[in-house]
């Protein structure tokens, strides 16, 4: 493990933000403790709240204890704490960047990563001021959190500004779904198992379903979320990435550009959902009050105390117009305050063309779950043992789960932060991916703005509005209930 020890200065803008405390610092704590980050690395938390080093460390410790819970270890923390530095910066004030310069100029580390976990409106200004103070070295990388902008136009403006200061190969646009082991496993499953290779197309697959449901509401993020909604928060990035990994052709290698080239081809082949299809192919909805785990929870409008036409749920039927997927629907749904937290992909194969049995033959399904638990299950038909004259069949589940020989499951951000530190961009989004995904989702959002599909509602604690079942039923299909 020690040959993989990386030494870097990791500067986090938004260092005291929710993402930083909830995901980034815990991920760095694990990377340091697991021996991936040299203990001479430094983590510099940038905040707009003035405080001294001791107060900062006390805050970090309190948050780490809370978010790591039983994974927190006092002894390990005392070593990790030496990596933590605090720096006050107001993102738009030139003079305050001197504080960061003082810290970085004193560093023994050659390598620098700037992680921008702020509103994307600040990305351009931050990069500009980093340049003004001569803080960007040739090898420095910048990480951009999603969403980058609110639509194609604003995303282009932000990306172009950042590109004035960093080359494309130094820009790491993060989508944390790509850091999940099960999501990466889609590549392994598809491209290292010959049995799936000839089956993975429109001739053999009837349709694909993707569900990303969450039981949480928008919590303290109402203001932010209300500007974005489920389409920009989940579909434009996480869901589009999953569609790409499921649908793409085999890349010639796992080289970053080889993989990204194939993903972009999928995005380029997405059939536009235009105004004539919007009503049949899209559903948007907002949660109203209901019950989750037996507890009454409020509706979206009550949560924010405001009127709003922001969707907290989206379901789409989409098509990829290429040779492999011709007319094979991908049904996707995602939403807040649904019955449970569940991330699941269902590949439903076609029915056998002719049956010689009396029993009903269920089409085979490959079910890939990655939250709350990770599992891969293949549903197959099987003879019920016994002496019946007529053979009876039943569906059995073949569990394809690898034995877990790891003690702790790595979090997506551990993998992605380590990849940034070791300068491997394969699991990050290239500019054209982000822009193509915006272009496609903008179309739908604009049609919604023109009121082509009314906002529906769904009860908190349900799996969305009833129209999602009707959309499937119309096609003679149904949702696999998680």
As measured in angstroms, the least distance from the Cβ of 421 to ligand BG6 is 21
Q: Which residues pair with 315 in a beta bridge?
A: 283, 333
Buried b / exposed e over 233-264, threshold 16 CB at 10 Å, is bbbbbbbbbbbbbbbbeebeeeebeebbbbbb
**What's the closest the beta carbon of residue 343 comes to ligand BG6, in angstroms?**
6
Regarding 286 and contact with ligand BG6 (CB under 6 A), the answer is no
Any contact of residue 233 with ligand BG6 (CB under 6 A)?
A: yes
Min dist. Cβ of residue 106 to ligand BG6 (A): 35
What's the rounded Cα separation, in Å, for the pair 324 and 314?
26
- Minimal distance in Å, beta carbon 314 to ligand BG6? 12
Q: Determine how many CB atoms are found less than 10 A away from the CB of residue 384.
A: 11
Judged by CB under 6 A, does residue 343 bind ligand BG6? yes
∠ at Cα 393 (392, 396), nearest 5°?
A: 150
Q: How far is the CB of 220 from ligand BG6 (least distance, A)?
A: 12
The contact mask relative to ligand BG6 for 426-455 (x = CB under 6 A, - = no) is ------------------------------
Phi, psi of 109 (to 5 degrees): -85, 130
With vertex at residue 120, the alpha carbon angle to CA 116 and CA 125, rounded to the nearest 5 degrees, is 75
CB 304 within 8 A of CB 181: no
- Give the C-alpha separation, 31 to 22, whole Å: 15
Q: Which is nearer to ligand BG6, 224 or 357 (CB)?
A: 224
Among 111, 214, 303, 311, binds ligand BG6 (CB under 6 A): 214
* # residues contacting ligand BG6 (CB under 6 A): 4
Map the footprint of ligand BG6 across residues 354-373, applying CB under 6 A.
Answer: 371
Residue nearest to ligand BG6 (CB): 233
Under the binding rule (CB under 6 A), the answer on residue 414 touching ligand BG6 is no
From 16, 176, 207, 238, the catalytic residue: 238
Measured from the CB atom, the residue of 60 and 178 that comes closer to ligand BG6 is 178
Q: For residues 214 and 414, which CB has a smaller minimum distance to ligand BG6 in the complex?
A: 214
Q: Is 377 in the site for ligand BG6 (CB under 6 A)?
A: no
Kindly state the smallest distance separating residue 233's Cβ from ligand BG6, in Å: 5
Q: With respect to ligand BG6, which residue has the nearer C-beta, 290 or 335? A: 335
Q: Is 238 a catalytic residue?
A: yes
- Considering the complex, state which of residue 214 and residue 311 has its C-beta at the smaller distance from ligand BG6: 214
Q: Given the complex with ligand BG6, which of 177 and 330 has the nearer CB atom?
A: 177
CA angle 107, 111, 113 (to 5 degrees): 105
Give the residue numbers marked as catalytic. Answer: 238
Residues engaged in binding ligand BG6 (CB under 6 A): 214, 233, 343, 371
């Amino acid at each position: 493990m020690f040959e993989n020890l990386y030494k870097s200065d990791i500067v986090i803008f938004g260092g005291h933000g929710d993402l930083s405390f909830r995901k980034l610092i815990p991920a760095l704590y694990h990377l340091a403790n697991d021996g991936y980050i040299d203990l001479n690395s430094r983590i510099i938390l940038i905040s707009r709240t003035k405080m001294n080093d001791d107060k900062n460390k006390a805050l970090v410790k309190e948050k780490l204890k809370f978010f790591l819970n039983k994974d927190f270890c006092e002894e390990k923390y005392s070593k990790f704490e030496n990596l933590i530095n605090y720096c006050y910066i107001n993102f738009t004030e030139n003079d305050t960047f001197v504080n960061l310069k003082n810290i970085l100029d004193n560093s023994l580390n050659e390598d620098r990563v700037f992680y921008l976990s702020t509103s994307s409106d600040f990305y351009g200004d931050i990069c500009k001021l980093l340049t003004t103070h001569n803080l960007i070295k040739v090898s420095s990388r910048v990480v951009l959190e999603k969403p980058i902008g609110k639509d194609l136009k604003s995303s282009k403006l932000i990306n172009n500004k950042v590109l004035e200061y960093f080359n494309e190969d130094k820009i790491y646009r993060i989508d944390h779904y790509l850091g999940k082991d099960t999501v990466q496993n889609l590549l392994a499953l598809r491209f290292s198992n010959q049995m799936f290779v000839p089956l993975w197309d429109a001739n053999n697959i009837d349709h694909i379903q993707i569900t990303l449901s969450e039981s949480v509401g928008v919590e303290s993020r109402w203001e932010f979320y209300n500007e974005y909604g489920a389409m920009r928060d989940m579909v434009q990035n996480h869901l589009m990435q999953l569609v790409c990994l499921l649908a793409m052709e085999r890349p010639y290698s796992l080289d970053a550009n080889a993989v990204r080239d194939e993903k972009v081809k999928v995005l380029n082949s997405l059939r536009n959902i235009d105004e004539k299809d919007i009503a049949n192919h899209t559903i948007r909805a907002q949660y109203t009050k209901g019950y989750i785990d037996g507890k009454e929870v409020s509706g979206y409008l009550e949560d924010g105390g405001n009127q709003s036409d922001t969707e907290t749920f989206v379901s789409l039927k989409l098509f990829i117009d290429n040779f492999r997927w011709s007319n094979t629907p991908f049904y996707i749904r995602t939403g807040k305050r649904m019955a449970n937290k569940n991330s699941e992909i269902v590949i439903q194969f076609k029915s056998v063309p002719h049956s010689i049995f009396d029993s009903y033959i269920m089409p085979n399904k490959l079910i890939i779950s990655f939250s709350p638990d990770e599992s891969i299950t293949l549903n197959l038909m099987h003879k019920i043992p016994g002496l019946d004259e007529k053979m009876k069949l039943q569906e059995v589940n073949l569990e394809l789960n690898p034995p877990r020989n790891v003690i702790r499951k790595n979090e997506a951000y551990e993998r992605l932060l380590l990849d940034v530190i070791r300068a491997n961009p394969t699991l990050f989004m290239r500019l054209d991916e982000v822009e193509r995904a915006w272009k496609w989702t903008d179309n739908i959002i604009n049609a919604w703005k023109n009121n082509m599909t009314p906002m529906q509602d769904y009860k908190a604690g349900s799996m969305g509005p009833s129209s999602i079942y009707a959309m499937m039923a119309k096609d003679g299909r149904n949702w696999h209930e998680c």
